[in-house]
Structure 1
């Protein structure tokens, strides 16, 4: 039922307000550790490039030294309008199941493939190393296929490891027709 409703809403949005080439301008990013005894962020920044393009840099250090084989990712997308947040999407992915079968669907399918290409994460489980995302590009070639209308959005990625929420990363972006030339 939920999948059908999401599919219907996305189709309506595509019909009403979708045009090829829409892009995201990232305004800021916040990384928060929910359990400092487990992990912390050495760096979390947005580097703004020419004409509104950006790159995301994250370096997450794990204090927990054993292999981690219980990883749940939760992606929430919120449209921000008039100082209010409206949840646009709430999708959860079992990362270890994904790494064995590569079954990313929906919005995770749009995000995981380019993210795995630019990070040091090898796409397998258990996870045994720190996570380094060294310049995830936000430009015409990445995540433009996400079918949402123009506006201001917050992408919220929460990570649960060992059955406890450990991190919360928020990326604020504005969906526009094109980058300023």
Structure 2
């Protein structure tokens, strides 16, 4: 009886330790590339480190040609394995339709849920204003990449190509490390 209780206690301690071990996301780079200056200008595109553990992304995108009535977004998730290779997702969505019917694309909704609270991309087309992404922290991404949908450890890049009013306009790349 004593032996069984001892094994059960060790098992419970092991379960507690395993539950406490969680992954951690860290931004490593953030790039904003303008393809068509008549459509998109990046006024701000920055990865800021407040301290060793707290980093966030901020971007302000000016749209010189307004209104934006058609928007397509191609996004892909890449994992670093001797260069960045496609990993799980590569999708093109109609941004205007997606914002009206988010349940139609669960993968796009997963990524949209990461930045929707810190962005003003919250309504359907037409867009008559600049786009702002304000302080997207690793805490939000950490929650989504460990609790909502678990990813294996490694270095990742989320790349998105923005096509506004049927013109390729911008490329945004977010590099992060999951450990």
Q: Where do 1:115-134 residues align within 5 Å?
A: 115-134=115-134
Residue in 2 that maps onto 1:12: none
Cα 1:30–1:130 change in 2 (3 A) is same
Unmatched 5+ stretches in structure 2: 1-19
Q: Distance in 2 between matches of 1:155 and 1:123?
A: 23
TM-score, length-scaled by structure 2: 0.78
Unmatched 5+ stretches in structure 1: 1-18, 177-181
Residue in 1 that maps onto 2:25: 24
Do the aligned partners of 1:104 and 1:112 also contact (CA within 8 Å) in 2? Answer: no
CA drift of 1:139 comes to 1.4
Quote the RMSD (CA, aligned, Å): 2.1
Do the aligned partners of 2:30 and 2:175 also contact (CA within 8 Å) in 1? Answer: yes
Partner SS, residue 111 of structure 2:
helix
Q: Distance in 2 between matches of 1:109 and 1:102?
A: 6
Partner SS, residue 98 of structure 1:
helix
Residue in 2 that maps onto 1:44: 45
Partner SS, residue 116 of structure 1:
helix
TM-score, length-scaled by structure 1: 0.77
Residue in 2 that maps onto 1:101: 101
Larger CA Rg, structure 1 vs 2: 2
Give the total of aligned pairs: 156
Q: Distance in 2 between matches of 1:20 and 1:75?
A: 30
Do the aligned partners of 1:27 and 1:172 also contact (CA within 8 Å) in 2? Answer: yes
Do the aligned partners of 2:71 and 2:95 also contact (CA within 8 Å) in 1? Answer: yes
Q: Distance in 2 between matches of 1:50 and 1:94?
A: 38
Q: Distance in 2 between matches of 1:163 and 1:137?
A: 31
